[in-house]
Every structure is written in C-alpha cells, then in structure tokens.
C-alpha cells in the first residue's frame, strides 16, 4: 500500500531513498572515523576518550538513524492498520475515519520531526568548531580545561546543515500532504 497522495508518494521517495542514502553513504564517510582522529592535548587515550564522550554524548549517525526510524513509525502503524483491515488506497481519502487516521499519522510525523530538529540543535548546534575545549576536571588532572582537535570540522558543518535541510523539507512535505488531503476532501482537487 503506497501513500494515497502525490505528495505522500514523493515524501516516501525523498525520505526513503535520498535521505537514507545520504546518511548511510556520506554520513559514514564524514563521521565514521571521528573518534579515532579526535585528539586532545595531552594526546593520551583516556583523555581523548573522555573528551570525545563529552563532545559527542551521542554520535550523529546514531541520532539520525534513530530519527529516521522513529519518524517512520506513525506511517508504518497506519499501513499495518490498513493492511489488517484490507483498506484499499482509494478508500483512504473516501472514508472520513481512514482519512482522519492517516492525517493523524502525518501530523505525528511532523511533531516527531520538530522534536528531532530541536534535539539536533541541542546536541550538535549549527557549526562544528575546529577546537573543542574539554573539561577534564573529573579525571583529576592538573589543568581542568584541555584543547581537543575535531577532525574534518568543515565537512561536518556542511553535513549538519544538510541534515537540518532534510528535516525541514520532510516537515514541509508533511504539511503539504495534509493540505492536499484537505483540498481533496473539500472537492478542490480531483482524487487520483
């Protein structure tokens, strides 16, 4: 069962293909070796690990993979419901209860994308700096603050902006899909 709207089908293509490909291939290339090349002064294994964990409480690839899975859940529930009830694609926009449930799943995707967008800002900001100042006081070191070098900071900044852009595009597509469904239900657009 595919989404009942043109925008929903485009969202599935965009979300499923482009965003996952971008994350899987380019995300690994940009972030895959970050922990290995993260180095602090003094360049000792325990300091590097401690500071890297402070710098990245969750790795971006894991965060974005969780985001993709969580945002797909409402649509998956709807499609599971539709499969169990043997609902045809054309019936989704014809019966109010099906339409309402589908719109709710799209609205839930928007909410989850907004939460993910906010969390991404809290965790990663908009720019990755070349130097990270790490508080090593918990390691009982002579100096409480140490400088750490962040590898490929410029590429990571570009990737962050791309992931923000993908999130905004998917939110816009979800809002447009709700608008398309509303227009179809009100008779402004012909059903497919």
Q: Which domains does the chain have, with CATH numbers?
A: 6-183 (1.20.1440.80)
Q: Give the phi and the psi of residue 147 in degrees, each rounded to 5.
A: -90, 135
The answer to whether 78 touches 101, Cβ cutoff 8 Å, is yes
Q: How far apart are CA 123 and CA 56, in angstroms?
A: 8
Q: How far apart are CA 32 and CA 59, in angstroms?
A: 10
Per-residue pLDDT of the chain in tens (192 residues, 90 and over written 9): 677 788 888 888 777 788 888 888 888 888 888 888 899 988 888 889 999 999 999 989 899 989 988 998 998 899 899 889 888 887 888 888 899 999 999 999 999 999 999 999 999 999 999 999 998 888 776 668 889 999 999 999 999 999 999 999 999 999 999 998 888 888 777 654
Residue 190 CB partners (closer than 8 Å, separation 6+): 184
- Please state the pTM of the whole predicted model: 0.85
């Amino acid at each position: 069962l595919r989404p009942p709207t043109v925008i929903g089908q485009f969202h599935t293509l965009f979300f499923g293909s482009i965003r996952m490909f971008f994350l899987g291939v380019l995300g690994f290339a940009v972030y895959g070796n970050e922990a290995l090349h993260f180095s602090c002064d003094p360049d000792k294994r325990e300091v590097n690990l401690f500071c890297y964990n402070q710098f990245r409480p969750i790795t971006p690839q894991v965060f974005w993979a969780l985001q993709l899975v969580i945002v797909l859940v409402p649509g998956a529930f709807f499609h599971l419901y539709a499969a169990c009830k043997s609902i045809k694609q054309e019936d989704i926009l014809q019966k109010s209860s099906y339409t309402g449930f589908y719109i709710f799943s799209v609205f839930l995707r928007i909410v989850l994308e907004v939460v993910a967008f906010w969390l991404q800002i809290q965790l990663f900001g908009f720019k990755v700096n070349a130097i990270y100042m790490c508080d090593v006081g918990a390691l009982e070191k002579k100096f409480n603050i140490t400088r750490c070098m962040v590898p490929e900071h410029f590429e990571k900044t570009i990737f962050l902006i791309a992931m923000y852009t993908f999130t905004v595009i998917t939110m816009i597509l979800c809002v447009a899909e709700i608008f398309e469904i509303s227009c179809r239900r009100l008779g402004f657009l012909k059903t497919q």
